[in-house]
Amino acid sequence: SQTIHQWPATLVQPVGSPLSLECTVEGTSNPNLYWYRQAAGRGLQLLFYSVGIGQISSEVPQNLSASRPQDRQFILSSKKLLLSDSGFYLCAWRSGGSYEQYFGPGTRLTVT
């Protein structure tokens, strides 16, 4: 069966510090991978998606970046965090022919 992992689960970082969130998927190959951000009490905002290694599409201009160094690994990064980067970050995957997305447990980021 397929499993998606995210870490860390929670993170408190000061403004201006770097960020690295990692997401890995097990039990499937060549998944489509996604990063979403959810502000408190709000919907999900698509940040990045990837259809293959090294292929990243950015949806929202911001100080975040994403990379996919391996088939089942997706990384969200920032060089300098802003207060507005606080939120619940969710990684998701989808197999090529499916309409259903599977979400990881999320990382709750608080920038202070």
Q: Which residues bind other proteins (CB under 8 A)?
A: 32, 34, 41-46, 49, 51, 57, 59, 90, 99-106
Burial 48-76 (b: 16+ CB within 10 A, else e): bbbeeeeebeeeeeeebebbbeeebebbb
Minimum gap (Å) between residue 88 Cβ and other proteins:
9
Q: Which is nearer to other proteins, 16 or 105 (CB)?
A: 105
Q: How far is the CB of 79 from other proteins (least distance, A)?
A: 26
Q: Which residues pair with 110 in a beta bridge?
A: 12
Comparing CA positions, the residue from 111, 23, 30, 28 lying closest to residue 66 is 23
Query: CB-wise, 18 or 105, nearer to other proteins?
Result: 105
Quote the least distance from Cβ 85 to other proteins, whole Å. Answer: 19
